[in-house]
């Protein structure tokens, strides 16, 4: 079965520090990968996506992610954390299952920013 | 671009009431719409997928008669929770995508928090 694993349900960093949120996936075919952010009581906002081409993908709010096929990873990074980055982050992989497209989410990582 | 509006944002009602949640794509035509349920501090669980003009495809374990989905147009899908009970209380989120390509992202609404007393 296809799956997405986010290492660390909770990550805490200081303001200005590097943010690294980990995501690994299992897939027997080339994946389509997404990172979403969710603020409290809101839906999900697309941060970035990888489909084909350049493996380093830049998204909104200064985030970027690198697709590493050999490691089956798609980790999300931001060089300098801001207080407004505090939120829940979801990694997702899109698959075709029995002819239907499905977006499979990781369990989420809650990012806390310390002043 | 790619704005999805979900309404209402919050519903509180008595047990046995039926509740309708609307999901609209405001600036694009949504070929496919998805309905998710999210429990506190958990990830999103796909409930069903709907294509305009077709019957929704439900995930295993989701009761079709409890969660009625209608996708009558390319910009509107509705989820009706029939005869809601306290165990149906949850955060429901819709999403929409344009086209059938795998590289098309899903665009999410802001969710509906349903509380059944």
The pLDDT of residue A86 is above 70: yes
Mean pLDDT of chain A: 91
Does the beta-carbon distance from B32 to A101 stay under 8 Å? Answer: yes
- Going by C-alpha positions, the residue among A23, A43, A45 that lies closest to residue A93 is A23
Q: Name every residue whose Cβ is closer than 8 Å to that of residue A108 and which is 6 or more positions away in sequence.
A: A6, A9, A38, A88, A89, A90, B42, B43
Q: How many helices (DSSP H) and strands (DSSP E) are in chain A?
A: 0, 12
Cβ-based contacts of B108 with chain A (< 8 Å): 36, 43-45
Residue B82 in contact with partner chain A when CB distance is under 8 A: no
Residue A98 in contact with partner chain B when CB distance is under 8 A: no
**Distance of alpha carbon B109 from alpha carbon A82, whole angstroms:** 25
> Looking up tokens 């992610």, which residue turns up?
A65
Residue A55 in contact with partner chain B when CB distance is under 8 A: no
Are A55 and A67 in contact by the 8 Å Cβ rule? The answer is yes
Residue B46 in contact with partner chain A when CB distance is under 8 A: yes
The per-residue pLDDT for range A40-63, each reduced to its tens digit, is: 888 899 999 998 888 999 999 999
The pLDDT of residue A106 is above 70: yes
**Distance of alpha carbon A99 from alpha carbon B8, whole angstroms:** 32
Buried b (16+ CB within 10 A) or exposed e, A63-83: bbbebeeeeebbbbebeebee
**Distance of alpha carbon B10 from alpha carbon A47, whole angstroms:** 25
Residue B105 has its nearest CB partner, among A46, A52, A105, at: A46
Cβ-based contacts of B55 with chain A (< 8 Å): none
The per-residue pLDDT for range B59-70, each reduced to its tens digit, is: 999 999 999 999
Does the beta-carbon distance from B46 to A96 stay under 8 Å? Answer: no
Interface test with B, best of A33, A47, A103 (most B CBs within 10 A): A103
Residue B48: the pLDDT is 94
φ and ψ of A85, to 5 deg: -80, -10
Identify the closest residue of chain B to A52 by CA–CA distance: B103
């Amino acid at each position: 079965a296809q799956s997405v694993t986010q290492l660390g349900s909770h990550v805490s960093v200081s303001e200005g520090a590097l943010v690294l949120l980990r995501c690994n996936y299992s897939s027997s075919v080339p994946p389509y990968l997404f990172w979403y952010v969710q603020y409290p009581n809101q839906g999900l906002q697309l941060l970035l996506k990888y489909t084909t081409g350049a493996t380093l993908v830049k998204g909104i709010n200064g985030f970027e992610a690198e697709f590493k096929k050999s490691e089956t990873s798609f980790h999300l990074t931001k060089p300098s954390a801001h207080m407004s980055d505090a939120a829940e982050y979801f990694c997702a992989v899109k698959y075709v299952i029995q002819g239907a497209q499905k977006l499979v989410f990781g369990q989420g990582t809650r990012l806390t920013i310390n002043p | 671009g790619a704005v999805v509006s979900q309404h209402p944002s919050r519903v509180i009602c008595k047990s046995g009431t039926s509740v309708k949640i609307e999901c609209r794509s405001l600036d694009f035509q949504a070929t496919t719409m998805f309905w998710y349920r999210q429990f506190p501090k958990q990830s999103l669980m796909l409930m069903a997928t709907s294509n305009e003009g077709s019957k929704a495809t439900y995930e295993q374990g989701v009761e079709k008669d409890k969660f009625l989905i209608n996708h009558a147009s390319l910009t509107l899908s509705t989820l009706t929770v029939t005869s809601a009970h306290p165990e149906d209380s949850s955060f429901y989120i819709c999403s929409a995508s344009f086209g059938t390509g795998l590289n098309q992202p899903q665009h999410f609404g802001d969710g509906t928090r349903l509380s059944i007393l």
